[in-house]
Amino acid sequence: MRRCLSALLLLVFLAACGRTPIQQQEAYVFGTRVEVLVVDADPAQGRAAIATVLREFDRLHRAYHAWQTSELTALNDAIAAGKPHPVSPELAALIVDSQELARQGNYLFDPGIGQLVKLWGFHADEFKAEVPDKAAIAAWLAGHPSIADIEIKGTTASSRNPRVALDFGGYLKGVALDRAAAILRQQGIHNALINIGGNIMALGTKEGRKWKVGIQHPRQPGPMATIELEDGEAIGTSGDYQRFFEVDGKRYAHLLDPRTGYPAEHTQAVTVLIPAGERAGTLSDASSKPIFIAGPTGWRAAARQMGIAQVLRVDASGAIGVTADLQHRLQFIGIMPAMEVLP
């Protein structure tokens, strides 16, 4: 069993002779490594801003944890018991937002499949290499649970389907990116890089130079390509190398297809680049999942439906497909790989 915590490798070189001080701090939140870098002439201001961001990350992590006691688990318990449950305005808004994103992705991204995630053993920091019983998966499929089954009235949530269980694992890191960007700007920080387990947002520049990040190769150490990010852009990767286990030489990743109940096997990685905008971080996290799960015949249509123009996909054989909008911005490392460029 192996787990890789980061979808992207940061290629940020902190020169000791830099003219402007760079403040950097790491933490472990959302089950992954997070890193915040701030470029600011006032080191104290930079450190204070980073501390505020990390406190918000910790709050979100504790409030919406999928298997440790939290507001989210309290709601899931109530749904399982067939009872309505009061929720905070924030959680109500997150549910409504993720319902719309799930709809846009044809429910291939669906935060309502928490029971399936648990069935596969991914509700743990360290999970067992064990394939669930086929009958258990069939029983889950028969219940057709989805976040669409949740109804919000004011600040009360309920579901007509007791098999629904919320898991924001494929959504909350993106929300946190947007929160971090807003906090930093409010604190007067205009140049920063935020990395949450490979979901990355750039603010401004690094002393006038664009922030450069690398796209992790799904089967080799190090990046396959690099890209320079514009102010406010966010990039996210879903990969079968991030959280997975192996049984009898077969890889089972955490990216589960709600249509089959099993991990998607046709894709190694999907990277999306999201233009600057109020929800760039959220989209960098949530949009890569349905594109990953849609597979070889559906990924391009899934991207179009979600309005995602810049996508790179590595299929199960290692073949690369990339949209023209993204291809011209990538700098591949070493020999240029063969790839299919799509409109």
Per-residue model confidence (pLDDT) at position 10: 43
Per-residue model confidence (pLDDT) at position 21: 86
Per-residue model confidence (pLDDT) at position 247: 97
In the chain, at which residue ranges do the beta strands (DSSP E only) sit? 2-3, 8-10, 22-29, 32-39, 85-86, 150-153, 156-159, 192-196, 199-203, 211-216, 223-229, 234-239, 243-247, 250-253, 267-274, 310-315, 320-323, 331-332, 339-342
pTM: 0.93
Residue-wise pLDDT tens digits, 4-19 = 333 344 444 333 344 6
Banded pLDDT at 3 (limits 50, 70, 90): very low
CA-to-CA distance for 254 and 258, rounded, in angstroms?
A: 12
Residue 34 structure tokens = 């997070």
Q: Is 89 helix (H, G, I), strand (E, B) or coil?
A: helix
Average pLDDT value for residue range 149-156: 97
Q: Give me the CATH topology for the region 71-159.
A: T-fold (1.10.3980)
For residue 342, CA distances in Å to 177, 213, 320 come to 29, 23, 11
CA-to-CA distance for 106 and 103, rounded, in angstroms?
A: 5
Residue-wise pLDDT tens digits, 269-324 = 999 999 999 999 999 999 999 999 999 999 999 999 999 999 999 999 999 999 99
Banded pLDDT at 20 (limits 50, 70, 90): confident
Per-residue model confidence (pLDDT) at position 143: 98
The CATH number of 2-59+183-342 is 3.10.520.10
Sequence ranges of the domains in the chain: 2-59+183-342, 71-159
Q: Is the pLDDT of residue 245 over 90?
A: yes
